Amino acid sequence: MANKIDYVVIDAFTRQPFKGNPAAVILFPSDQPVGPDTLQKLACEFNLSETCFIAPQDASTPTAPAFHLRWFTPTVEIDLCGHGTLASAAYLYSHPTAGVDPGTKIAFHTRSGVLVAEQRANGEIVLTFPEEPCEKVDEAAEEWDLAARALGVKREEIVYVGRNRMDVLVEVTDAVDIETMKPDVGLLATVKSRCLILTTTYSRTRAAQGYHFISRVFAPQSGIPEDPVTGSAHCALAVHWSHKLGTVNQPMKAYQASPRGGELLVTWRKKEGKVELVGSAVAVAEGKIVMP
């Protein structure tokens, strides 16, 4: 008989179904190792921006839960994923059989080190992630012109271009309406990074909602033309905007302006070298997969 494993699809960084960023979450038993080729095929089958695979560590207990966590897009395994971690934590907190006591911190062991999740009494989940600061790219470098052409903006409308170990971050003036922008995805795919993060402080349609900044994230290089809500991108955005707005150690309200949309609170803990991401999640589908 074929082996069947439960899965849940969870929308992260939203309280509303079919908003935020969907991720499939699959919990494997610790005694059932699955190879990366199979994990990649499963992620391709789900065809979501991320499929998350979790498995308990041998030393995991209900009061000190610890899990291995890996994230796959439909085409590649990635190093860091915020919404996938949020979805994984939401799954573990809502399924008693997962062996996690309510209110305890979960340690996820990942390719980016140990990430910590903790659920608040109101159901929100707090993630502690590494900071991912960007270094400014010289204005004579090709990234500035490539960003302008790919995004369809004037060169003088770009305020900043920076890079970190994964991504390119582009800030544009608040005169640019990034929500209606239609970038050239083909050109974006030539940017040598995991994704391109586009950001500004102002949105005509959201001016009254109190956001400190808004963003969009494009990742055709990783098999995702536009990511709905990208927690890991906010590890760079939190540092960038904390510097500019003088909000170190203060929470900032952020909105990612994809068609699905999503919001989160972000705080740069400068001394600790960490970024705190706070968001909600809601399950929208569940079922079983037949393992090959």
**CA gap 39, 161 in Å, rounded:** 34
Tell me which DSSP letter residue 100 carries. Answer: -
* Amino acid identity, position 100: V
Residue 264 contacts residue 13 (beta carbons within 8 Å): yes
Rounded to whole angstroms, the Cα distance separating 19 from 15 reads 8
Residue whose pair of structure tokens reads 């940017």 in the numeric block: 191
Beta strands 50-56; 21-27: pairing state: parallel
Paired tokens of 285? 């589908």
Annotated catalytic residue: which of 45, 50, 226, 272?
A: 50
| DSSP single-letter state for residue 258 | S
Please count the other Cβ atoms lying within 10 Å of the Cβ belonging to residue 111: 12
Local structure of 105: helix, strand or coil: coil
What's the rounded Cα separation, in Å, for the pair 174 and 201? 6
Classify residue 41 by its DSSP letter: H
* Residues 275, 31: Cα–Cα separation, whole Å: 33
Residue whose token pair is 């939203």 = 14
Q: Is 276 assigned a catalytic role?
A: no
Q: DSSP letter at 137?
A: P
End-to-end CA distance of the chain: 11
Query: Which alpha helices (DSSP H) does 154-247 contain, by range?
Result: 185-188, 234-245
> What residues are labeled active site?
50
